[in-house]
Amino acid sequence: MPEVAHTHVEHAHPAPTGFIRKYIFSLDHKVIGTQYYLLALFSVFVGLILSVLMRMHLVWPNASIPGLGAIATSGAPGGVMTPDLYLSLMTMHGTIMVFFVLTTAPQGGFGNYVLPIQIGAADMAFPVLNMLSFWVTFLGLLALLAAFFVTPPLSGWTAYAPLSAIGAVAGPGQGGGQTLWIISIALFCAASLMGALNFIVTTLDLRTRGMKLMRMPLTCWAWFITAILALLGFSVLLGAGILLLLDRLAGTSFFVPAGLVVSDQLLTKYKGGSPLLWQHLFWFFGHPEVYIAILPGMGAVSQIISTFSRKPIFGYRAMVYALMSIGFLGFMVWGHHMFMSGMSPYSAMVFSVLTMAIGVPSAIKTFNWIGTLWGGNIRFTTAMLWACGFVSLFITGGLSGLFLAQPIIDVYLTDTYFVVAHFHMIMGVASIFAIFAATYFWFPKMFGRMLNEAWGKLHFWITFIGVYAIFIPMHFLGIVGNPRRYAQFTEFDFLKPFIPVHHFISVVAFITAGAQLIFLFNFFYSLKKGPKADINPWECTTLEWTVPSPPPHDNFEGRPPAVYHGPYEYGVPGAEKDYVMQTDSTPLPVATGH
């Protein structure tokens, strides 16, 4: 080990004492991480309930749901949902899930909690910024929920202009609610930028002695690269959001062309803008965003699979390079969402090649996960089950992306349920599976107690079978041409034969959604009553397993550890245990090639 001059930044703020400073406006990355996690947990259940309501409306458009009439008097008179309420539910479902669940839990939640510990730091680089970023996210969530109660917006999570830009003439939800939606997204952008900046600086500057870049756990790499994507992506979305807000409030017309006639009313206010411009700006952010949603999950899954296979990760360097190239290519493919938008057909060809190219690093990751399992001695804990489920779902969802990536096939499949199936498989459930895997894995560290494994497994089995049963049939619906974002399937002759399939999907969705209550119960029950967790229940090698569960205020109590090994030294021949901690200063018994 070369001795490096040690100029570690000492932990500036002492442990706070009052309740408010300790739990509400806390500067401790662990508390903020937990806050993020709980925010995501709340949001995911809101999103889940919305999806259940959506599935109800799709198959029983005229049924009256008891109690709903009282909550949404205009959207559901007498408890019967209107088509516009359906679209609002869908918009909210998509927005909440993408922004407030998949961008918060894996990065803001686990990243915040675990990253500083894994690299041996006492906290994030900018604790105050960290706190701000959480609270601004929280404000964003409030604004979004408020939108739902003002006039729920209905232009989808992609908010295509002019529908989203011209105000209430375009539909009942396009008034104040849509404005709040944009404000919410803008706040979210600001918060994510603060968070991303903090993550990058922390990873670069606060690694402890010996924590070389190529010794960082893959989780840290994933969070780091995600932060870079977020920094570059959200800044563009922020610009786009400002412009859309101006279109709505200041009378500019960046995204609205002249001469619109909406329900026989000529809009003279707008002149000369371009709807495609919004789509470009949105997807320039939007595609990196979907990788923001999944890269941290990939990191966590790599960590978990290696740990429970008791085997070093297969091809550590290849995994790092694959993460980098996914991130890099991720900025060059946004046009695949716009093949049929009126975009130049030449651009479509370029975007198509680049999109298929992303399959290559993704395949490397898949192979290496399987390669890690291969020859291992696999311990099927609940966390491991979720991680393996993730790999299976990622393959399924990723391959359907290859269909959509070819414009000639996308002509038919775009905006059908095939797309819905694709993104639920890979994002809706693969990423969520990674969150679950991470939850079962880090819960003991975060809360000092173990989650119940038996319930966890039951939850896993139902969810795994459930999501396949929900989303595989959606591919078939796409193939027969069922368009997405339809409130009912009663108006088209060709759709009527497929209503039974929708029935099947809905029923399975209700069961699967119900099964999530098992998780909720397990979570809160174990929080209070679970068995106490040891320092290192999974016999894992990374730094967070060298500190007590839960870790003390500044993690290492002022004595940052030194690191001597790569992160995944399992099953080392000749070592006394079957794993070697990163802090273990004895050299490995065999030459490892590192």
Closest to 471 (Cα-Cα) out of 501, 437, 438, 515: 501
Q: Name which of 305 and 446 has its Cβ closer to other proteins.
A: 305
The reply to whether 356 sits near other proteins by the rule CB under 8 A is yes
Residue 97 in contact with residue 47, Cβ under 8 Å? yes
The encoded tokens of residue 461 equal 């089995």
Residue 162: cis peptide before it, omega within 30 degrees of 0 = yes
**Under rule CB under 6 A, which residues in 97-126 are in contact with ligand HEA?**
97-98, 101-102, 105
Nearer to other proteins, 99 or 447 (CB): 99
Which pair of tokens denotes residue 505? 């999907």
SS3 579: strand
Q: Which is nearer to other proteins, 40 or 281 (CB)?
A: 281
Q: Tell me, rounded to whole angstroms, the distance of Cα 396 from its chain centroid.
A: 18
Query: What, of Cu ion, ligand HEA, other proteins, none, does residue 266 touch, CB below 5 to 8 Å by kind?
Result: other proteins
Residue 97 near which of ligand HEA, Cu ion, other proteins, none (CB within 5-8 Å, type-dependent): ligand HEA
The answer to whether 533 and 452 have CB atoms below 8 angstroms apart is: no
Residue of 219, 307, 381, 439 interacting with ligand HEA (CB under 6 A): 439
Mark residues 328-347: x for contact with other proteins by CB under 8 A, - for none: x--xx--x----xxxxxxxx
- Beta bridge partners, 532, equal 449
Token digits for 5? 């001059």
Q: Hey, which residues between 230 and 269 contact other proteins (CB under 8 A)? A: 231-232, 234-236, 238-240, 242-243, 246, 250-254, 257-264, 266, 269
The interface with ligand HEA within residues 356-415 (CB under 6 A) comprises: 358-359, 362-363, 366, 395, 398-399, 401-402, 404-405, 410, 414
Is residue 550 reached through a cis peptide bond, with omega within 30 degrees of 0 on the bond before it?
yes
Q: How far is CA 145 from the centre of its chain?
A: 19
Please give the full DSSP string across 120-146, using - where no structure is assigned. T-SS-S-HHHHHHHHHHHHHHHHHHHH
Q: Indicate which of other proteins, Cu ion, ligand HEA, none lies near residue 105 (CB less than 5 to 8 Å, by partner kind).
A: ligand HEA
Separation CA 196–CA 229 (nearest Å):
8
Backbone φ and ψ for 483, nearest 5 degrees, come out as -70, 155
Mark 526-565 with x for binding to Cu ion (rule: CB under 5 A) and - for no binding: ----------------------------------------
Rg for the chain, CA atoms, rounded = 24
Residue 37 or 314 with smaller CB distance to other proteins = 314
What mask of x and - would describe binding to Cu ion in positions 276 to 295, judged by CB under 5 A? Answer: -----------x--------
Phi and psi at residue 377, to the nearest 5°: -135, 80
Handedness of CA 159, 413, 292, 135 (dihedral sign): positive
Task: Report the residue count for the chain.
Answer: 594
84 binds, among Cu ion, ligand HEA, other proteins, none (CB under 5 to 8 A by kind): other proteins
Nearer to ligand HEA, 376 or 473 (CB): 473
> Which of ligand HEA, Cu ion, other proteins, none does residue 316 bind (CB under 5 to 8 Å by kind)?
other proteins
Please identify, using beta-carbon distances, which residue of 394 and 564 lies nearer to ligand HEA: 394
Residue 421 binds other proteins, judged by CB under 8 A: no
C-beta of 423: minimal distance to Cu ion in Å? 9
* Least distance between other proteins and beta carbon 441 (Å): 17
Q: Report the residue number whose CB is nearest to ligand HEA.
A: 398
Tell me the window of 98-106, 138-146, 474-482, 530-538 that interacts with other proteins (CB under 8 A): 474-482
The alpha carbon torsion through 350, 353, 358, 364 (nearest 10 deg) reads: -150
Q: Which does 245 bind (CB under 5 to 8 A by kind): ligand HEA, other proteins, Cu ion, none?
A: none
Q: In the stretch 158-197, what mask flags binding to ligand HEA with x, by CB under 6 A?
A: x---------------------------------------
193 near other proteins, rule: CB under 8 A: yes
Residues 279, 282, 283: CA angle, nearest 5 degrees = 85
Dist CA 49 CA 72 (whole Å): 14
For ligand HEA, the closer CB: 277 or 575: 277
Cβ atoms of residues 467 and 512 within 8 Å: yes
Interface positions with Cu ion (CB under 5 A): 287
